Amino acid sequence: MRRWTVFVAALVVLSMLLPGDFSLAKSTQTDHSEKKTAAKAESSVKSSPKKDGGQSSKSTRSAKSESKKDVAKQSSQTGGQTGGQAGAKSDGKAGSKSAGKPEAKSDAKSGEKAADTAKSKSASKSKKRAASEPRESREPRQAKAAPPALPDSYKGEFGVDTKAALVMDMQTGRVLFAQEPDMPIPPASLTKVLTLFLINERLREGSLKLDETIPVSQEASHAGGSTMRLKTGESVTLDDLIKGIAIASANDGCVAVAEYLGKGDTHPFVEAMNRKAKEIGMANSQFFNPNGLPAEGQVTTARDMAVLAQTYLKTFPETLSIHSMTEFTRNNRVRHNSNSLLGKVEGVDGLKTGFVCASGFNIVVTAKRGDTRLVAVVLGAKNRRIREREATRLVEEGFKIVAAERGGSHQQVAMSHGKDPMLH
């Protein structure tokens, strides 16, 4: 028994003294020899007398412990590949579990834990960064399309706060801006421009004179709305009636003239109004009275009103001497022109305002700067202030557009609605 023990110890010492590469190359042979040695040791222990049981048992345990220590050392030198197979079967299994597998498992577990820890730290950092960043930076940014180039005369998207609007160069008839130009809207007192058109035609023909006196009927004196306060049975010169219609927007004066020319009936005069409207190109207008008081089916459009103003002023430019007046006095009573752009906006010298509940606040206005005259129309403003503001914008923007075009920039003017560059 002692021989075997000495032999095993000698093998162990030799394995420790030999170089690492040699031990690695001979590791398999050493394992086999160690197995054989352990098996012989166990068989010798079993065959020994009982009186030597304690001593042999101690030797066996000593051999086993030394064998385990040697195997552990070899496994540490060779990478743990051949470490726990040197003892008996049961001891070899225990040795292999204690030497190789637990270390591998612990290394794997520690590696997994380290990876999980790194992942969790990275995830928490990314969450913190995402939380600190604004939402816009986290979302994919899309390249915004560049806004379309607008003429210098435009301020952003040029539109007016009314139902319909239009501005045109009166000399050329070119539409500079239009918003719902063909929307039918009650004309209100803008109708009086057409009434004055027919009166001035009669004056030019010689069938009427400014000093001619016009009788006032009961129907005329009860016209209602804005009036000259005409009295039934009185006579008024045509010159005063023209001023009353143009400046004070006299509904009673319109009825008096229409009845006078129609031999006591307004209908012939209204029929003449509609014929003239079609003749000059007011394609979408219809009139049922000479003053614009509410009447079913009585409508016009911004385009038609621009046509009327253009034709009226070209035909009778002298009428601006009256339309530019800010007030009119008759019978010691002063009546003011409701065209609030007079004296406020450069170049404005006419034409007419109007209002009925069905349409809102309307205006057709003209202005001249240099050799350019514009006509602007606003229909359906919510109040007088908006009507004045939007009409002013149309005039100002219109002159800027003309100046830009004459300056050689040849900028294309965008129209809100409609494609026709000219009025027809």
In this predicted model, what pLDDT tens digit does every residue of 52-65 receive, in sequence order? 444 444 444 444 44
Residue carrying the six token digits 């003017």: 413
pLDDT at 10: 73
pLDDT < 70 positions in the chain: 1-4, 6, 13, 15, 17-158, 409-424
pLDDT at 160: 86
Is 324 part of the annotated catalytic residue set? no
pLDDT at 18: 59
Query: What are the sequence ranges of the domains in the chain?
Result: 2-105, 164-406
Is the Cβ–Cβ distance between 302 and 204 less than 8 Å? Answer: no
pLDDT at 243: 97
pLDDT at 223: 95
pLDDT at 5: 73
Is 57 part of the annotated catalytic residue set? no
Is 189 part of the annotated catalytic residue set? yes
Residues in Cβ contact with 253 at an 8 Å cutoff, skipping those fewer than 6 apart: 220, 227, 228, 230, 236, 241, 244, 245
Pick 164-406's CATH classification: 3.40.710.10, 3.40.190.10, 3.40.309.10, 3.40.50.150: 3.40.710.10
| Pairing of β 175-179 and β 235-237 | unpaired
Q: Which of 56, 189, 226, 285 is catalytic?
A: 189
pLDDT at 116: 54
pLDDT at 266: 97
Q: Which of 23, 75, 226, 249 is catalytic?
A: 249
Q: Which of 192, 285, 324, 359 is catalytic?
A: 192
pLDDT at 375: 98
pLDDT at 333: 92
Sign, Cα dihedral of 107, 111, 112, 114:
positive
